[in-house]
Amino acid sequence: MPDRKILLVHQFELNRVTGVRALLSELLWRIPEARDGTAVAFECFEGYDDPDAFVETLASQHSDATTVVGVNLHGDLLFDYSIRLLEWCASASRPVHIYVHDYYPTHRAVLESLVANYHCGLLASTELIRNAMQADGFEVVLAPVGVPIENVDLRPPPSRDPSAPKVVGSIGRLVPRKRFEDVVTAFGLAGLTGRASLHLRLIASCVFSVEHDEWMLAGIRAEGERQRLGESLRIDRTATERSDYRGYDAYVCASSYEGFSMTPIEAAYTGCPPLMSEIPAHQAIARTLFPDRPHDFLFPTGDTRALARLMADELESGRRAAYLGTRLTEIQEVVESRLSPRRTAEVLAALADQDMPPQPGSPAGQGRGKADNPQ
């Protein structure tokens, strides 16, 4: 029988489409692999009629949980479920941690209240988020998030006609911060129509309504019409389990915010050059994967002309793709060693050890409490 059980909680059901859920799926087998005697279970808010029904399931199926880790419990979405989860943990003095993947300035007051009222531990998914939270006065454990490489299609790319138009790709949920209209505008400004095509894979937002998604989609299509892209713009609404960058000559991530940006890392892992907005998360990726030339892959956030120049330069010269080709093995080793869910699993397993109640014969209180960083 396992002597500890970690319960992972998220707002949404698991699948392999969005980054956080792909990570959680992988942790379900990586955590037991990282530490013998550790069981893992998963629950989500989605699918329950109300918070009480959710807590009834927790009480009946997970009363043996020794540690609870909830992802982004401080967010607005289904916040009443978060509160009931924290109350359930508090009622049994069960250690609970909020795993912070997104940290905006508005989150400070919410987290202060949750920590004060429910004695939550705080986990940060990246060094950038940890540093921001520490600057706001929080005690934080770094549980570095990783990229589920099993989610990336590494089969040899299909054969392509060298004379066929080149392809720029971008993938993401239909939320404003992804700035897909910027990508469309830049493609038009680059004068690539007819010489290249733009493929957007747009996934349902999960947070906003279907009507909001359709409104955003209409704006993206309208921008394509303003730029006269015609058939050069292809929009794919199909959510697939595996991310496929093999047909792209360049990949664009124009986001105005990412707590951790998985798709540019996935693209680089396959040899596809990522062109990224100059937000902190993307700067960190560029410094980590391309340490001798990070600025070659970055453009000022929201600067569509700068992105247009970057697109045109890469499609005409191919120099970033050539650079990745010479360093691909090294880049893949960096991703697998420094940006792997294995590290996340190890931290969470160690955290569960520290949350275990004292065992018979052990000094009182030993093995329980917050660590500065159990890596």
The string of pLDDT tens digits covering residues 35-73 is 888 999 999 998 899 999 999 999 999 999 999 999 999
Encoding tokens for residue 184?
């469309």
Backbone angles phi and psi of 139, in degrees to 5: -85, 125
What CATH number has the domain bearing residue 216? 3.40.50.2000
Widest distance between CA atoms in the chain: 75
Q: What is the per-residue pLDDT across 197-237, written as a single tens digit (0 to 9) for each? A: 999 999 888 788 899 999 999 999 999 999 999 999 999 98
Say yes or no: 166 and 264 in one domain: yes
* Strand ranges (E), 287-360: 298-299
pLDDT of residue 340: 87
Note whether residue 360 is domain-resident: no
Q: How far apart are CA 76 and CA 324, in angstroms?
A: 40
Note whether residue 185 is domain-resident: yes
Which domain, by its residues, includes 318?
153-338
Q: How far apart are CA 260 and CA 330, in angstroms?
A: 21
User: Backbone dihedral region of 367: left (phi > 0), alpha (psi from -120 to 50 degrees) or beta?
Assistant: left
Say yes or no: 188 and 116 in one domain: no
* 81 has pLDDT over 60: yes
Encoding tokens for residue 149?
């490489």
CA torsion 344→146→24→254, rounded to 10°?
140
pLDDT of residue 357: 43
* DSSP at 254: -
Q: What is the per-residue pLDDT across 121-167, written as a single tens digit (0 to 9) for each? A: 999 999 999 999 999 999 999 999 988 887 777 776 666 677 788 99
pLDDT of residue 371: 33
| Average pLDDT, integer, range 297-314 | 98
- pLDDT class for 118, splitting at 50, 70, 90? very high
- pLDDT class for 243, splitting at 50, 70, 90? confident
User: Backbone dihedral region of 248: left (phi > 0), alpha (psi from -120 to 50 degrees) or beta?
Assistant: beta
Note whether residue 109 is domain-resident: yes
Looking at the DSSP bridge assignments, the partners of residue 283 are none
| pLDDT above 70: percentage of residues in the chain | 90
Say yes or no: 218 and 301 in one domain: yes
In total, how many domains does the chain have? 2
- pLDDT class for 16, splitting at 50, 70, 90? low
* 303 has pLDDT over 50: yes
Say yes or no: 109 and 203 in one domain: no
Q: What is the per-residue pLDDT across 327-349, written as a single tens digit (0 to 9) for each? A: 999 999 999 888 889 999 999 99
Kindly list the distances between the CA atom of residue 103 and the CA atoms of 70, 207, 340, in Å, as whole numbers in the listed order.
15, 17, 21
pLDDT of residue 90: 95
Note whether residue 165 is domain-resident: yes
- pLDDT class for 19, splitting at 50, 70, 90? confident
pLDDT of residue 368: 31
